[in-house]
Amino acid sequence: MRKMFNSAIVESFKAKETPFYYYDLSLLKETLNECKTAADQYHFHVHFALKSNFNDKVLNIIKSKGYGADCVSGGEINKAIEIGFKKEQIVFAGVGKSDAEINFALDQDIFSFNVESIQELEVINELAAAKGKIASVAIRINPNVDAHTHHYITTGLDENKFGINTWDLPAVSETLKACKNLSFLGIHFHVGSQITDMNVFKSLCIKVNEMQLWFEERGMPVKVLNVGGGLGVDYYHPDENSIPDFDSYFKIFNDFLEVKPHQEVHFELGRALVAQCSSLISKVLYIKNGIKKNFAIIDAGMTELMRPALYQAYHKIENLSKAEGLGLTVEGSLNHTPHTSNLFYDVVGPICESSDCFGKEVNLPETKRGDLIALRTAGAYGEVMASAYNLRSAIRHVYSEG
């Protein structure tokens, strides 16, 4: 158990303009250290998926811990370089890389393009030739492994747009042999996000073993096995499980992947590294009591945290102004127990969309205008998806000790 809030932190929030993202930077550092220690045991390399969080402070800490960068756009590559990630630790994935993005990545001499179609291979080859460069490429293979996660965040099935399907691999090897400005580095996979069933990763390992054999049998040595990211976090118990079980996660790959002495194993974690270290803090604007339900209308909306509206994602909601919500004892409560009773609220934002709802029938202590509300586990795919819809103000931040 590692509590994100105490009464001093909540007190410090009272004078601040809401909504804002609160970052617990010591939790971030602990998480990064645990992941690094677990990965180092097996000499695994971990890249951070910038798309889950590109906050400068967060990225600086991640870089300082020796992580690489997994980018999905030219903008992310540019950001990674600005922050100071090493070029030889930057990989570029994405199903629709534009010519301008490919050219930029070639100019930056990044470590690898994770290529998602045969046509993309041909385009990278052509653009590299024009610059007199050799591009290192890994082939993103769609392994048809079901991640057993929400269908919007499943990426490794035949029906998904990502990666190259296995029946196209003979054409891939032909193309690679014909393209003189490409150097084949290895194979890449990413089957989905928020994966909590470890059997999914076992199935992935078995596919990776099959696929690397396929290439090696055709005289194409596989130097890098990139197994992507996707490790999930506990959205229901953020304080009880504030750091994912990295030991068990990496052990699966150590146990089930057939790694040869000349090979490197690469990971691309996003959510598992940053989700728990941030909460979106908001204030209750109004309480509307309906006949069947109450509404708590808060000052954060889908414009600050889109996951619930986008894929019905769950975020734990806490009322920080009520000690019961914090799991704290109320000052002076030795003599009297608080009498507030819990009620059910639909917690909604101010945006003019019915999908702007953070939770239905959420059980909270009796909630009032001005109460501080925390939407937990918001560090991944939170502020990166913020929008100006309804002409909302830019995201604000508050950081715990640096």
Ligand X SMILES: *Cc1c(COP(=O)(O)O)cnc(C)c1O
Active site residues: 352
Q: Where are the alpha helices (DSSP H) in 22-117?
A: 25-40, 56-64, 74-83, 99-107
- Nearer to ligand X among residue 73 and residue 319 (C-beta): 73
Per-residue binder mask for ligand X (CB under 6 A), 286-325, x = binder = ----------------------------------------
Q: Which of 4, 27, 49, 302 binds ligand X (CB under 6 A)?
A: 49
Q: Are 136 and 128 in contact (CB under 8 A)?
A: no
Least Å from the CB of residue 385 to ligand X: 12
Could you tell me how many residues of this chain bind ligand X (CB under 6 A)?
18
Q: What is the DSSP string of 276-316?
A: GGEEEEEEEEEEEE-SS-EEEEES--TTT--HHHHH-----
Q: Is 190 in the site for ligand X (CB under 6 A)?
A: yes
Residues in the chain: 402
Q: Which is nearer to ligand X, 320 or 378 (CB)?
A: 378
- In this complex, which beta carbon is closest to ligand X, that of residue 70 or of residue 304? 70
State yes or no: residue 74 binds ligand X (CB under 6 A). Answer: no
Q: How far apart are CA 318 and CA 6, in angstroms?
A: 13
Query: Is residue 163 within the footprint of ligand X (CB under 6 A)?
Result: no
CB of 96 to ligand X, least distance (A): 12
Q: How many CB atoms lie within 10 A of CB 294?
A: 18
* C-alpha count within 13 angstroms, C-beta hemisphere, residue 370: 2
Q: Which stretch binds ligand X (CB under 6 A): 11-19, 224-232, 293-301, 390-398?
A: 224-232
Q: Judged by CB under 6 A, does residue 112 bind ligand X?
A: no
Q: Which is nearer to ligand X, 374 or 380 (CB)?
A: 380
Given the complex with ligand X, which of 247 and 361 has the nearer CB atom?
A: 247
Q: Does 270 bind ligand X (CB under 6 A)?
A: yes
Residue 45 binding ligand X, by CB under 6 A: no
Return the closest-CA partner of residue 351 out of 384, 327, 379, 386.
386
Task: Provide the β-strand partners of residue 343.
Answer: 364
* Residues linked to residue 348 through DSSP beta bridges, in sequence order: 297, 357
- 186 or 229: CB nearest ligand X: 229
Q: Which stretch binds ligand X (CB under 6 A): 24-32, 48-56, 170-178, 336-344?
A: 48-56
Near ligand X by CB under 6 A, which window of 45-53, 236-244, 331-339, 353-361?
45-53
Q: Are 79 and 296 in contact (CB under 8 A)?
A: no
Give the span between the Cα atoms of 29 and 24, in whole angstroms: 9
Tell whether residue 97 is a contact of ligand X (CB under 6 A).
no
Angle at 12 between CA 9 and CA 13, to 5 degrees: 90
Burial 205-237 (b: 16+ CB within 10 A, else e): bebbeebbebbeeeebebbbbbbbbbbbbbbee
Q: Which stretch binds ligand X (CB under 6 A): 24-32, 78-86, 210-218, 227-235?
A: 227-235
Of 54-62, 266-274, 348-356, 388-396, the segment contacting ligand X by CB under 6 A is: 266-274
Q: Determine, following the binding rule CB under 6 A, whether residue 268 of this chain makes contact with ligand X.
A: yes
Q: Is 70 in the site for ligand X (CB under 6 A)?
A: yes
Among 19, 163, 186, 230, binds ligand X (CB under 6 A): 230
Q: Which residues contact 332 (CB under 8 A, 6 or more apart)?
A: none
CB of 269 to ligand X, least distance (A): 5
Q: Pick from 52, 73, 279, 321 the residue near ligand X by CB under 6 A.
A: 52
Q: Which of 229, 244, 308, 379 binds ligand X (CB under 6 A)?
A: 229
CA distance 343 to 350: 21
Residues 293 and 274: their CA atoms lie apart, in Å, by: 34
List interacting residues with ligand X (CB under 6 A).
49, 51-52, 70, 72, 93, 190, 193, 228-231, 268-272, 380
